[in-house]
Amino acid sequence: MYRALRPKSQPATSANGTGGVDEDFDNGKRIFSIGHVLRYSPHNMLLRKLLLEDRVVGDICSVEHTEPVGWWHFAHSYVRGNWRNASISSPSLLAKSCHDIDLLMWLLMSPPAGAAEPHLLQHFLYWLSPLLQKEPETRAAGDATNCMSCPLVDDGCKYSAKRIYVGPGEKSVHTGNTKWPVNVVLPEIEDIPTMEEREAAILEKLAEDYDANTPAHEVADRRWSASGTPPSTAPTASSTPTPTPSQSKTSTPVLPPPTTPVLDEDSHGGGDLGLTGQFIAAVDAVKNRRMLADDAQLHYIGCTLQDVMMSHAMVFAAEDSRLNRKTLDWKTWWDTEVEAKLAA
């Protein structure tokens, strides 16, 4: 027996997000999990129970999910960092938001254990073209093509790359930091011995024109069923640190006040530990012959390889829609781009 706990996202070696799939993981012989930690956060597990089992808000008509990446994180990772260009990494919606897409699918199309309702794949109707909005360049920047050539770089601009990475920003080289976010912009900085050489090296790097092609603001609108449409938004201008999903209500719930202490935000509200614990429990159950692999997969991991493939494929459908500026029928796209190619 072998098993895999892979980081999100799944390696994207094909245009439909299903590359690198091992057949043994898809036929119930192996334990497979992926870092979709939001499924295992206690508050999200409670939310799913309230929505799908207790039905405290009635039928879900609409879900608005926003992932405010924020300019701070976006600048390091998707403008100057490893994920700035889809051709050398992956689409930003996959790299940053695939676990959010998975969360929406988990809440809206995966029935709870023991429920009579079928999987809701057949009820996807349309993929509406995501909007790509390029922010207008700041007029004061003039003809500058990067931050270091901008006249505002030393003039109090809060987005100044020089201030953030060189100094006096709180995580800049000037403070002695050679870790994140500095090493995302210049990975070799930890090997540079002196402060002066580090500052010179990162200034030289910041003076380059980056080949970033990630969208500054992306809205993916999907119609899940005849009555439910969840838009998923990934703005970058907000400084809000955490997403705030909200559900439209067809009935009014009365809930007791919370008594569980809030978990550390840095571990996705307990999702990191939850995922790890469930994976270990699944492996232990199979190794000690208390369960078959497919039973442990569903009981502890709570999703199948197809679920993982589906949430990844949805991101690639969004990219297809965005890049080719067209509306997609999800079922048709899935049959053509995934089912047919896997069967070939």
Domain boundaries, the chain: 3-135+213-343, 146-206
CA distance 294 to 1: 12
- Phi, psi torsion values for 173, nearest 5 degrees: -60, -35
Q: What is the CATH number of domain 3-135+213-343?
A: 3.30.360.10
Q: CA quadruple 260, 266, 269, 272: dihedral positive or negative? A: negative
Order of all β-strands in the sheet with 126-132: 126-132, 217-223, 231-235, 63-66, 246-247
- Phi, psi torsion values for 122, nearest 5 degrees: -65, -15
- Phi, psi torsion values for 104, nearest 5 degrees: -65, -40
CA distance 333 to 313: 9
Instruction: Mark residue 40 as left, alpha or beta (left: phi above 0; alpha: psi -120 to 50; beta: remaining).
Output: alpha
Neighbour count for residue 172 (Cβ, 10 Å): 19
Per-residue pLDDT of the chain (344 residues; tens, 9 = 90+): 557 777 666 655 455 555 555 554 555 578 888 888 888 988 889 998 898 888 888 777 777 777 777 788 888 888 888 888 888 888 888 888 888 888 888 887 776 666 655 555 433 333 443 433 334 445 677 778 788 888 888 888 888 889 999 988 889 999 999 999 999 989 999 999 999 999 999 999 988 877 776 665 565 555 544 344 455 555 554 444 444 444 444 444 444 544 454 455 567 878 888 889 999 999 999 999 899 988 998 889 988 887 878 888 888 888 888 888 888 888 888 888 888 887 87
